[in-house]
Amino acid sequence: MNVLKCLLLLFFLAGNLWARPNVLFIGVDDLRDWVGHLSGHPNAKTPNIDRLAKRGVSFTRAYCSAPLCNPSRISLLTGVAPSKSGVYGNGEKLRQKLPDAVTLMQHFRASGYSVRGAGKIFHGTSAYDMDSWDIFFKSPGSKKHRVKRDSSLPKSAWVPWGALACSDDEMLDGINAKWIITELKKPQEKPFFLAYGLTKPHLTWSVPQKYFDLHPLEGIKLPPTKKGDLDDLPAFGEKLAREVYDPSGERDFAVKPNGDHVNVIANNQWLKGIQAYLATISFADAQIGRVLDALDRSGHAGNTIVVLWGDHGWHLGEKEHWRKHALWDVSTRTPLVFSAPHGVAKGKLCQRPVSLIDIYPTLLDLCGLPELKGLDGQSLKLLLENPDRQWERPVVITYGLNNHAIQTERWRYIRYRDGGEELYDHERDPNEWTNLASISKYSLQKSKLSKWLPVKKLVN
């Protein structure tokens, strides 16, 4: 009788394990809100990300924890905010800063999932944190494809973009997509957590010619800008727009006279830069489409949660700034989409501000896995069920020691380590052109928002 009970218990546990949904986890590097369904740019063409959004809930105001690859990803994958971990720059190592952290993938492994991945999920050497993976595909890499530089440009011109004469499968993201597709074709002995990390649209914006052809130069639109936009910024904010800040604390600003924007304008490259970024997004979207098609063919789509996220935003001339490396809306906002067979609304946009650090607890909630103490995020399950419900919790964004932004539905408040402040009313000023921080009638609003600032640390 005892043997029979044991067999019944094992049968029950196995059945319960298989009742848990699979997870397809897609990370996209440097992807801002320039995707079709978010209307971030009129020239954006992302049919595959858009069709995923139709299957679930897309957050219109999802924000990173830090506008830089390593701190954003480590906070997302450990659930520990940068202000607590001390991971501010791209040089810090996961296990040096957080030796005992249980990553999202570790938690799924411990819960009986087969956890596999390829591409850029962590940043740098942390990618091979083998406690996090059953299998991690070490791509042989793609061969270097030369971009023909415009011979009319001076050597000083900043032009890290251009079309390539190669196929998708010769690109790193294409190689990794093929591996993910192969994994989806295999028989699955356990529920799976399958992570696909794309390196594009990170620089360089060099992808096959056909993606540039999708975005003819004559139709490209410039983003909205305002002359003199930097005039009302505190000194630290103005430096972020024009120079390169090292958030790790090893050095302060690297002098870059006048910044990338002046260089781009002087060399008549603004439209070409935007074209190249849009083309690279379309390339990334095509690889995502290949993986989604493979999921649909695999027979597992009916029991698979898909979550797609970017690690932060990207400026292309707004605030006279290029790249990320800042605490404004453009550099910190990114797509976030959840699709699931059950418990997630279909084809809905959620306007509530949420953080990428919320992904960890949300996936545990959706998959019915044990809660983990110490996570700084909050499950978004209630918003996924009802995207219009009230949500009072603001987003906290950190860039380096004691530089933070607080984002609510209406307001963005920035305070730098030297005391400089910015305050924007997104209801009236979505482009953040008018800094209200020095106007006395907004003192109470600043006081309310400042209560959400992390406790100040004296050392890095």
Tokens of 45: 């063409």
Helix/strand/coil percentages in the chain, nearest 5: 35, 20, 45
Residue tagged active-site, from 123, 300, 315, 325: 123
Task: Considering only the C-alpha atoms of the chain, give the largest distance between any 2 of them, rounded to a whole number of Å.
Answer: 85
Cα(319)–Cα(424) distance, integer angstroms: 14
For 35, list phi and psi in degrees, rounded to 5: -125, 155
**Rounded to an integer, what distance in angstroms lies between the CA atom of residue 252 and that of residue 339?**
41
Q: Tokens at residue 161, please?
A: 């973009």
Amino acid at 158: W
> Environment class of residue 431 by beta-carbon count within 10 Å: exposed (0-12), middle (13-18) or buried (19+)?
middle
With CA atoms as reference, report the closest residue to 230 among 252, 259, 256: 259
d(CA 330, CA 338): 22
- DSSP secondary structure code for residue 155 in this structure: T
Q: Which of 69, 215, 312, 367 is catalytic?
A: 69
What angle, rounded to 10 degrees, do the helices at 270-298 and 172-185 form? 10
Annotation says 123 is catalytic? yes
Centroid of chain to Cα 264? 25
Q: What's the rounded Cα separation, in Å, for the pair 273 and 269? A: 6
Q: Look up 64 and say whether it is catalytic.
A: no
Catalytic residues: 69, 123
